[in-house]
Amino acid sequence: MKNLGQIFRRTVILPVAVKKTHWHTTFGIIHVVEQEYRQPGKRYRPFSRSAGITCRCCSLPLQRAVTDFGADHSFGRVPEKLKEHYGITLPESTVRNVTETHARHIHERRRQERIEEYPSVKGRDFVIAETDGSMVPIVLTDPDAKDRRKGKKHTWKEARLSIAHVLGERTLKFGVEFQENVDESGKVLFDCACRAGFGRGTSLHSVGDGATWISGQVKKQFGSQGRYLVDFYHVCEYLEAAAPACSGKDGKGSWSKQQKERLKKGQEEKLIEALKPHLEPKKTEDQNAPVRCCLRYLSNRPGQFDYPEAQQLGLPIGSGEIESAHRYVIQERLKIAGAWWTPENARIMLSLRVDRADGYWERYWENIS
């Protein structure tokens, strides 16, 4: 009340009227009758100010519950959850507004706290960091249109998720970028790795599907400390497609097995030589030339198939971790049936999902309590 005393100092304060106010909490709606006071040209409601509430608002514990539900379920289903667990009723519009407000705050905080400077301290021996893209359903509207419900365009945009953890430990660090250039995605990967334990002397191991932007960012962000390995099972898909042309349908199983063993032993040159005699004519289109596609895939990625060393060090040769993370971080919420997002809402909801997976959820609510 000290601040109110400063406001009202040397001023005659007169009670004007009794006002009713109410707000939503996890215990239900709370109604309060409070005295309103008048200062020349102004009106004050001391209780509302000191309690930090406005009429029809939601308490902080309720906002946390709403945001928690909204991060996992469609906004239309959250009122059912609130009714079931707390016995209260909120409209879908309030659920959406509360969830997106906190998602926006989380997105801004994550951008501000992102690590971009190379760490000066000694890091852990091995850090595993992976990144990959996943398509998100997006709806675009014309902001200048009189009726924004008309003329909508539906499309798909890529969200790039990054994860990192220390070899032998399962605590993951997450990061995400949406509709940004590859350099921004590389910075997110670097931030994840630093928070996981990357520093001076750390060897960073990354596995991906062979996308050139990923290998390029590993080299750019981590320099000589980073190494990139093409996902073994992704290469096998090319081998399986080329097998019938190289060995015939009856022998494709044994041929594929032999080439996979060569890959695991680091004998990719022998594999390349085994493909060359079966190359399709140059005029054949790529969709009908699996041998050529396989050979090109291998030849364009030199130094990215060192599976023997990775296996010797106990490092993964498959990118299953990042592919799994896409399912439970991004797709589980942003790709539910019927969901279409504006670019801005997709961006902040991705940050919200990542924040909860990252273990920063508790810290966020403690800081705004």
Establish how many alpha carbons lie within 13 A of residue 132's alpha carbon, considering only the half-sphere containing its beta carbon: 21
Q: Which amino acid is at 356?
A: R
Q: What is the pLDDT of residue 28?
A: 83
Q: Is residue 331, in this structure, part of any structural domain at all?
A: yes
- In this structure, are residues 72 and 82 in contact, taking their beta carbons and an 8 Å threshold? no
Q: What is the pLDDT of residue 13?
A: 58
Do both 45 and 175 map to the same domain?
no
Residues 6+ apart with CB under 8 A from 368: 60, 105
Q: What is the pLDDT of residue 11?
A: 53
Do both 140 and 195 map to the same domain?
yes
Strands (E), the chain: 14-25, 28-39, 42-44, 126-140, 153-166, 173-178, 203-208, 226-230
Cα dihedral 308, 161, 369, 62 sign: negative
Gap between the Cα atoms of 352 and 364, Å rounded: 11
Q: pTM higher than 0.75, yes or no?
A: yes
The two counts, helices (H) then strands (E), for the chain are 16, 8
Q: Is residue 78, in this structure, part of any structural domain at all?
A: no
Q: Is residue 109, in this structure, part of any structural domain at all?
A: no
- Least Cα distance to 293 among 200, 216, 210, 215 occurs for 210
Q: What is the pLDDT of residue 27?
A: 83
Do both 239 and 214 map to the same domain?
no
Do both 215 and 128 map to the same domain?
yes
**Structure token digits, residue 184:** 């921004």
Q: Is residue 169, in this structure, part of any structural domain at all?
A: yes
- Residue-level length of the chain: 369
Q: Is residue 95, in this structure, part of any structural domain at all?
A: no
Residues 6+ apart with CB under 8 A from 85: 65
With tokens 């099972």, the residue in question is: 233
Task: Tell me the residue range of the domain where 237 lies.
Answer: 233-299
Pairing of strands 42-44, 126-140: unpaired
Q: What is the pLDDT of residue 5?
A: 54
Exposed, middle or buried, 34 (CB in 10 Å: 0-12/13-18/19+)?
A: middle
Do both 224 and 293 map to the same domain?
no
- Least Cα distance to 109 among 329, 342, 360 occurs for 360
Do both 238 and 202 map to the same domain?
no
- Least Cα distance to 188 among 210, 209, 218, 167 occurs for 218
Q: Is residue 293, in this structure, part of any structural domain at all?
A: yes
Q: Is residue 72, in this structure, part of any structural domain at all?
A: no
3-state helix, strand, coil in the chain (%, to 5): 50, 20, 30
User: What CATH number is given to the structural domain containing 191?
Assistant: 3.30.420
- Least Cα distance to 185 among 153, 217, 226, 215 occurs for 217
Do both 202 and 120 map to the same domain?
yes
- In this structure, are residues 276 and 185 in contact, taking their beta carbons and an 8 Å threshold? no
Neighbours of 19 (CB within 10 A): 15
Query: What SS3 state is found at 55?
Result: coil
Do both 140 and 190 map to the same domain?
yes
**Structural domains of the chain, count:** 3
CA 167 to chain centre: 21
Do both 49 and 123 map to the same domain?
no
Do both 155 and 284 map to the same domain?
no
Q: What is the pLDDT of residue 326?
A: 96
Q: What is the pLDDT of residue 4?
A: 53
Do both 42 and 155 map to the same domain?
no
Whole-number mean pLDDT of the chain?
Answer: 89
- In this structure, are residues 48 and 15 in contact, taking their beta carbons and an 8 Å threshold? no
**Structure token digits, residue 213:** 């932007």
Q: Is residue 92, in this structure, part of any structural domain at all?
A: no
| pLDDT tens by residue, 162-214 | 999 999 998 999 999 998 899 999 999 999 999 999 999 999 999 999 999 99
Q: What is the pLDDT of residue 251?
A: 66
Q: Which residues of the chain have pLDDT under 70?
A: 1-16, 51, 53, 148, 249-252, 369
Query: What SS3 state is found at 169?
Result: coil
Do both 326 and 197 map to the same domain?
yes
Mark 45-68 as b/e (b = at least 16 C-beta within 10 Å): bbebeeeebeeebbbeebbbbbbb
**Structure token digits, residue 221:** 């962000």
